[in-house]
Structure formats: C-alpha cells, structure tokens
Structure 1
Amino acid sequence: MNVRALNRALLARQHLLERSSLPVPAMLGHLVGMQGQAPLAPYVGLWTRLARFRPEDLASLLTGRQAVRGLLMRGTVHLVLAEDARVLRPLIQRVVANGYTGHFGRRIGDADLGAVARFGRVLLHERPRTRRQLQDALAARWPEHDAEALSYAVSYLVPTAQVTPRGVWGSTGPATLTTLDGWLGGPLDCRPSLEDVVRRYLRAFGPATIADVQAWSGLTKLREVVEPMGLRTFRAETGEVLYDVDDGVLPDPDTPAPARFLPEYDNVLLSHADRARVLPPGRRVPLPPGNGASRGTLLVDGFYRADWRRSGTVLEVTPHGRLTAGERAEIEAEGARLLQFLGAGEQSAVALVSGK
C-alpha cells in the first residue's frame, strides 16, 4: 500500500472524507477517545467530523459523567467515554506510571511512592483538589520532601479524572483532580482486553504497523499480542507489514479529500510511528499552548498543509506552500463555517496569510 492509499483509509475511518451522522457518544467510542490536552480541542475535532454537532452535545456528556478527561494513551490527557476509561486506564497504567520516572521522579528522593499514592488517593477520593491543594496536603504529611514532585507522583500512580467545569464549552475552571473510579461511580475493569482495543484502534486508524499501535498507545512489546490475532495484512511501500480488521474501510486512493480544519493535537496527526500518511516530509506536528478551539492544523487534499489561528473575528490561515485557486476557495468556505461554529459573529472573515 502506498502513502496515498493509507491517507485515504485514515481519512475515511476518521470521518474526514465525509461528515458523519453518528451521535456524539458513538463517534467518541469509534475514535477510542480524543486528545484533550487542550480542553476545548475535542469540540472542534467533533465539529469537523460530524454533520450536525452542537457544543452542548459533548458538554452534557462531561457534566453527566458519561465522558471523562484523564491521563490515558501516551500518558497524555484524553477525553473518552466513561466505559472506555474503565477499560483503557488499567491497560495504559504502566505507560502513565513510567512517565513519572523523568523530571519529577528525580526530585522525589527516598519518599515511599506506595505510601504517597495511597495517601493521595484518600485525599482525592475525599474531595476533588487542584494541583496546588493536593501539593499543600502532601507537604503537610511529608514536609521533608519536594511537595510538587509528590503531587505529580499521585497523579501518575493513581487513576484520576479531571472534573467539570474543566473541558465544558462556555465554562472555565482549573484542572481539578479526583479518583477515576469515584468520579465514574464504579470500579475499573480488572480484566481489560488489549486485543479488543487493538482492533478498535485499527478500525479508526488502520491499516497500521505494530510500531503504529505502540506509538498511539504508548505500550511496548505488542508484537506478541498483535501477531496471533489473525488480522488481515498488507505490505507497505517500505516493506513493513500492515495489520487491519477484516471490515476496515479502504477507499479508492484517488477519492477527493475536502479541506478539513483540525484542532490542536488531533490524534490523526499523532497516532502513528510513521506519520507520512498525513504529514509531508520534514513537517512536524505543532504543539501550541492554550485551552483549545483557537488554533490548529488544516488538511488540504488529505495532508497537513496549513495552520490556522482565530484572532477575534478573523480566522488566519497560514499555508505551508502554494495553493490552487480551487483549494483557496474551499478553505475560505470551510473556514467561514468554522468561524460560525466558534461564534465569531457576522463580521468574521477568513484571511490567508503568507505561506511559510
């Protein structure tokens, strides 16, 4: 399979060739969650995939605890369905815990991590706490240790959820943590199926190599899991084996791909070890700061070819190279729809600025 074939398969499975009529919970489940590092980014990610999406459709899932935000794949914040959080967090726990071995792990000294995690869990189960509140409580218990490092130990070692109003459209709030099982009102899955999760990944991101599955999840040593699953296989141009589910969509590589605005950190850009199926050579995924819904990337003919940023009532689009007249017109029309979704008002405009 060549890069273009893989690109069109990815776009079709991500509902970026045609907007879908799926309900929001069904789309969240199909995508196996969405990157939520920027709290409002999933709203743009759903708008670009769904034919009739309203922000309240997602906000109500969060406030109703049918969806939740927390550390999951790659040890980063994801927004997932509640039932998926119960399955994914036990599978990903070692990935999240391993993330603590870096900067903060070096600062914790000889503190008993098990005791810190147990005490931190009690604190967060008692009531949701901000990072500062958790840090202060841990400092009172272990005054001889780095309180900030202790607080991060708790968030890495204890499955947690970020409570609302964080991540709710039209609301603001600091990142406030509680225990994941407490927030969801039930225990996490004690026997989660990694094979089921691999199949779901392939249905949304495949065909893919074992290295791709590992890049998406953060897990390692998955060859012993994937190879015995009886999946159908293809051969990439590079010679690598691509795995896929039997019913995975494989559109014609020449299928037209419309311009699509993606939010910050969209998993389309981050979920493969070999990102050539969507990133041109030498292009990296930008990782801007912020709460989301204000900047992102733009797919043109299926590939990352521009960045966008909302500045007041103006949507600034910065192409990476030359665009045809048809591509410019398509971007302007789709950008106007994005501005309408973002509530920019009647005087809003799309501006294509100098490429880079």
Structure 2
Amino acid sequence: MTVLDTRALNRATLARQLLLDRADLSALDAVRHLGGLQAQEPQEPFAGLFSRLRDFDPAELSELVSGRQVVRTHLMRRTVHLVTGEDALAWRSRHDAMLRQKVFGVYRSELADVDPAELAEAGRAVMADGEPRTMTELVKEVGGRWPDVGVRPLGELLVAGVLSTVQLPPRGLWRQKAGVRNLLLATWLGREADPLPDDPSDPVGQVLVRRYLAAYGPAASADLRAWSGVAGLPAAVAAVREELVSFRDERGRVLLDLPDAPRPDADTPAPVRFLPAFDNAILGYHDRSRIIDDAHKGLSVKGERVVLVDGRVRATWTVDAGAVVVSPLSKLSGEDRKAVADEGSAMASFLSDRECDAVRVRDDL
C-alpha cells in the first residue's frame, strides 16, 4: 500500500481546500464543495473565501445568506456552520442524535429531568407562528415547564439539540453586527429536513463520506468523525469502500480517498494563505499534523487566525487599527517574510474595501 508522507498529504489538503490555487468558483459552489464553513464568528467565512476564491466579492455571500441559499445553523461538531440550504435539509437528520448528545454531554446534570421529545414539542408549538426569537425569548416562553433549568442549558438544547433552527440575517452578513435570532429551518427554507432513511447502509452517511473526502481527503475514518462529530459511520464507509482507494500515512494509519481526486506532487509550490479563526482546513482532521505542528495545534481551537507558509501554520494574524499584524511562530526567511507581507497587504485591502493595505510582520520570535 502506497505511503503518503506528511508533505504529500499537505499538498492534497491544500488542493482540496482551494488553498493551493484560488478557484474560479462562485461562493455558493465553494461553500458546497467545502461541506460548509465553520461560522461561529460571523465575519470569518468572508476571510476564508477571500483566501480560496479568485475575485471574491463579499456581497455575493451576503446575498446568498439573505436569499436563503446558504444558512447559518448548528451542524458539524455542534458548531455553527455556514452551509448550503440543500445540505442543511439533507444532513440535519443524520446529525440529530449527535447534536443532542453533545448538548447533554455539556449540561448533563442541569438537563437530567428534561425530556427531549417534550421540549421539542413545546419549542415547535411556540415557534409555529413563524416569528424569530432569541434563545432567551424562546426559553422564557417554554421554560415554565422546567423552572429549575438555566437559560443556557435549556436554550442550547432547544436551538441546537431538539429543534432544527437557523440563525437569521443580518447576523452573518458582511460587516453587519447583530445578535442571534432563531427560526425553524423548515420555516426559513419552506420544507422540513429530509427524514433519516431506514436503511442499514446509511445512505446519508455515504454522502457525507464522499463529500468529506472530496474536500479533505486522503483521510482516515477518525478524521471523518472529527470533522462531522458523527459516530456510527462505519456502515457508510463499508458501503462505499469499493469505490475508494487506500493509502497509509507515515504513522501507519489507513487513509481512504476518492480515486480521481487531486493529489499533487509533494514538491508543488504552496503560496502563503491567511486563514480565518476556526478554519476547517485545520479543525477538519483528528490528526492535524499534515498542516500544523503538534506544538501549535491548540491555536485553531483557541480561535487564532493563522498564516500558512509553504502549506503549514507558521504565524498568527490579527487586525489592529485597520492594519493586518502578523506574528511569526518561528523564524521566517526573507523571501517568506516578503510573501507574507504581500498576502497580508491583499487581506488588509479586502477587509477595508481597498481603503487600506497596511500590514506589519512582527520581528521573528
């Protein structure tokens, strides 16, 4: 079985994630290809698409959100993701059990006396009028049945665990600051999420496997689980196994992939790229060594924006007084510093509508 070293896996990841070359895709096609963008910080997907798409216009993504083609909803890993409306409807039921389990895992003692089915019924009755509500407002209207449960545990179980909800614009629009207002997914998109098929081969899981590999492969089953948060995918993997090719990484793990997916030569040059907070190019794997050193893997979990140099995380970046400020994690060569400064200037220009291209690369630590 062919062994793919870390550099080969890195170049495959960059190609699948549209980070090796900026793609000539629409924002909708990019969101669909990536299986969604993590979006708990509402403005971060815009920076993520800027680094992936040629001539990206942030107004295009805002229009998709306002036009209900892309939605903000709890999905993979119980985090807020920006996904196409089609994917939200197709995938939500497959994620239901995981979403409930994760909420109960965090608030097990507080929710011990709450029946999820009863809570869902109460929540749907309140939201049947089609009016958006904040989490606090929703809890206030149903919470009389559970007066001893706090707003946060009951609210998170409602909006993420037992009801299929979306977060409405203007939250998630370019340069808009707005609180979270929730509406039922079915109300916003005009139909209920697809029911989960009664099929042991897990057809929805099969779609998740193929879509994940297209955007993240080659990868192990543990990586798929880390991205989706969904356990119980072995049946789906088994069902599509004959379609896939196999490799091993340097640690001996079996990696699966789509046969015709891009796997560039390990020596393919990789441009500098600025990634937003919580980018799935890093969080979408159990073993993140293909893109970030073990010493720095906590950065993405903490929500640090990072800079890829030669395909790997080599710096963090922030915005201060309109300027992009880059903090290297290790010494950069003169050539790399210039490339970082050039891409940072492009990011600053994008974030300021071309009114500012200021960038500062701090002295190497």
TM-score where L is the length of structure 2: 0.92
Q: What is the one-letter code of the residue matched to 1:267?
A: N
Seen in structure 2, the aligned counterparts of structure 1 residues 297 and 68 have a Cα distance that, compared at 3 Å, is: same
Seen in structure 2, the aligned counterparts of structure 1 residues 224 and 347 have a Cα distance that, compared at 3 Å, is: closer
1:46-125 pair list within 5 angstroms: 46-125=49-128
Whole-angstrom distance in 2 between the partners of 1:286 and 1:320: 11
Give percent identity, aligned residues only. Answer: 38
Match of 2:156 among 152, 166, 172: 152
Shift in Å at residue 97 of structure 1?
0.8
Name which of structure 1's ranges 189-198 and 41-50 shifts more when overlaid on structure 2: 189-198
SS at match of 2:317: strand
Whole-angstrom distance in 2 between the partners of 1:108 and 1:77: 22
The residue aligned with 1:198 is 209
The residue aligned with 1:261 is 274
Could you report, residue by residue, the CA deviation over 1:222-254 in whole angstroms, capped at 9, with x for unpaired residues?
A: 333213411111121111111001111010100
The residue aligned with 1:313 is 322
What 5-or-longer segments of structure 2 have no aligned partner? 198-202
1:243-258 pair list within 5 angstroms: 243-258=256-271
Whole-angstrom distance in 1 between the partners of 2:360 and 2:274: 14
Please say if 1:135 is aligned against 2:144. Answer: no
Partners of 1:108 and 1:146 within 8 A in 2: no
Shift in Å at residue 282 of structure 1?
1.6
Shift in Å at residue 194 of structure 1?
1.3
Q: What is the one-letter code of the residue matched to 1:338?
A: M
Name which of structure 1's ranges 122-131 and 341-350 shifts more when overlaid on structure 2: 341-350
Q: What is the one-letter code of the residue matched to 2:236?
A: V
Could you report, residue by residue, the CA deviation over 1:122-162 in whole angstroms, capped at 9, with x for unpaired residues?
A: 22332111112112212344435434432222121111111
Whole-angstrom distance in 2 between the partners of 1:289 and 1:204: 23
Seen in structure 2, the aligned counterparts of structure 1 residues 311 and 224 have a Cα distance that, compared at 3 Å, is: same
Partners of 2:225 and 2:231 within 8 A in 1: yes
Please say if 1:181 is aligned against 2:186. Answer: yes
Shift in Å at residue 220 of structure 1?
1.8
How many residues are aligned here? 352
Partners of 1:107 and 1:146 within 8 A in 2: yes
Please say if 1:8 is aligned against 2:19. Answer: no
Whole-angstrom distance in 2 between the partners of 1:174 and 1:346: 27
SS at match of 1:239: coil
SS at match of 2:101: helix
Shift in Å at residue 183 of structure 1?
1.1
Shift in Å at residue 287 of structure 1?
5.1
Q: What is the one-letter code of the residue matched to 1:177?
A: N
Seen in structure 2, the aligned counterparts of structure 1 residues 348 and 250 have a Cα distance that, compared at 3 Å, is: closer
Shift in Å at residue 102 of structure 1?
2.8
Could you report, residue by residue, the CA deviation over 1:85-122 in whole angstroms, capped at 9, with x for unpaired residues?
A: 01121111111111121342311342333211211122
What 5-or-longer segments of structure 1 have no aligned partner? none
Match of 1:278 among 267, 291, 295: 291
Whole-angstrom distance in 2 between the partners of 1:100 and 1:3: 35
Seen in structure 2, the aligned counterparts of structure 1 residues 270 and 41 have a Cα distance that, compared at 3 Å, is: same
SS at match of 1:106: coil
Could you report, residue by residue, the CA deviation over 1:54-108 in whole angstroms, capped at 9, with x for unpaired residues?
A: 1110000000000001111111110000001011211111111111213423113
The residue aligned with 2:200 is none
Whole-angstrom distance in 1 between the partners of 2:29 and 2:62: 15
Shift in Å at residue 4 of structure 1?
0.2
Q: What is the one-letter code of the residue matched to 1:186?
A: R
The residue aligned with 1:325 is 334
Shift in Å at residue 286 of structure 1?
2.4
Partners of 1:138 and 1:147 within 8 A in 2: no
Partners of 1:163 and 1:176 within 8 A in 2: yes
SS at match of 2:246: strand
Name which of structure 1's ranges 197-206 and 105-114 shifts more when overlaid on structure 2: 105-114
The residue aligned with 2:254 is 241
TM-score where L is the length of structure 1: 0.94
Whole-angstrom distance in 1 between the partners of 2:356 and 2:96: 48
The residue aligned with 1:353 is 362
Whole-angstrom distance in 2 between the partners of 1:48 and 1:212: 23
1:22-33 pair list within 5 angstroms: 22-33=25-36
Name which of structure 1's ranges 177-186 and 320-329 shifts more when overlaid on structure 2: 177-186
**CA RMSD between the two structures:** 1.8
Shift in Å at residue 331 of structure 1?
0.7
The residue aligned with 1:301 is 310
Partners of 1:313 and 1:345 within 8 A in 2: no
Q: What is the one-letter code of the residue matched to 1:56?
A: A
SS at match of 1:137: helix
Shift in Å at residue 347 of structure 1?
5.2
Partners of 2:136 and 2:151 within 8 A in 1: no
Seen in structure 2, the aligned counterparts of structure 1 residues 348 and 53 have a Cα distance that, compared at 3 Å, is: closer
Partners of 2:10 and 2:291 within 8 A in 1: yes
SS at match of 1:167: coil
Seen in structure 2, the aligned counterparts of structure 1 residues 144 and 256 have a Cα distance that, compared at 3 Å, is: closer
Whole-angstrom distance in 1 between the partners of 2:152 and 2:215: 37
SS at match of 1:105: coil
Seen in structure 2, the aligned counterparts of structure 1 residues 103 and 228 have a Cα distance that, compared at 3 Å, is: closer
